[in-house]
Amino acid sequence: MVARSGRPAMLLLLTVDHFQGLQHTRSSEWVDEVVRRIAGVMSRSVRPQDLVARCGSDEFAVILTDCNAADGSMVAERLRERVEHLALTGLDAKDMSSGDLSAKGMALTASVGAAFAPEWTRCPASAWLDRADTQLYQAKARGGNLVCLDLDPLVAVSAEEKNMLFAAFGADLAAAGAHTVEDSL
């Protein structure tokens, strides 16, 4: 993590496109199962040292630690693609006649917003989150099923400031009601 090690990191925010439509047309059990499957795919798509958390009904945050911008961009795209190709077989018992969304004329896609933090950067946790959130809204505004990145460099900081950044971001996630993906599985 940037705050602890001085290494680069990337924050990803991912939401399922048109999720409210699914919530209104499917049972809560069906929607919960889709979210569990997305959480599982995301957890399996990142390294053990990375953090995946569910922040809302259809929003996830991922902190890619010790990650350069190019690798973070590839991970963001991989997550988007894996959600798009998520197998939804076996959901027919939860109010679908077909286990495949595409058979119903729907596609499951995701939008991703990302903010990069280079080595030894100065950025309050809220600013890092705002940068990623701005990119997420840009991806959605451009039609969804897209990754948008903020790669702007930030100002260098001391080791103490880095530790404060990590603690503040964790507190912000907790205050927002985020919990680890394992809690959703």
The model's pTM: 0.74
Give pLDDT, residue 59.
Answer: 93
Indicate whether 167 pLDDT > 50. Answer: yes
Q: How many CA atoms lie within 13 A of 69 on its CB side?
A: 11
Range of the domain at 80: 2-180
What is the number of other CB atoms lying within 10 angstroms of the CB of residue 29?
Answer: 12
The better pLDDT of the pair 172, 98 is held by 172
In whole angstroms, what is the distance from residue 57 CA to residue 21 CA? Answer: 13
Domains held by the chain: number: 1
Give pLDDT, residue 185.
Answer: 61
Examine residue 102 and state whether it is found in any structural domain, yes or no. yes
Confidence at 144, pLDDT banded by 50, 70, 90: very high
Tell me the per-residue pLDDT of 73-86, one tens digit each, with 9 for 90 and over.
999 999 999 999 98
Give pLDDT, residue 158.
Answer: 60
Examine residue 49 and state whether it is found in any structural domain, yes or no. yes
Give pLDDT, residue 45.
Answer: 95
Examine residue 81 and state whether it is found in any structural domain, yes or no. yes
Tell me the per-residue pLDDT of 37-55, one tens digit each, with 9 for 90 and over.
999 999 999 999 999 999 9
Tell me the per-residue pLDDT of 20-32, one tens digit each, with 9 for 90 and over.
888 888 888 888 8
Examine residue 185 and state whether it is found in any structural domain, yes or no. no
Examine residue 129 and state whether it is found in any structural domain, yes or no. yes
The CATH number of whichever domain residue 163 belongs to comes to: 3.30.70.270
Q: What is the 3-state secondary structure (H, E, C) of the chain?
A: CHHHHCCCEEEEEEEECCHHHHHHHCCHHHHHHHHHHHHHHHHHCCCCCCEEEECCCCEEEEEEECCCHHHHHHHHHHHHHHHHCCCCCCCHHHCCCCCCHHHHCCCCCEEEEEEEECCCEECCHHHHHHHHHHHHHHHHHCCCCCEEEECCCCEECCHHHHHHHHHHHHHHHHHCCCEEHHHCC
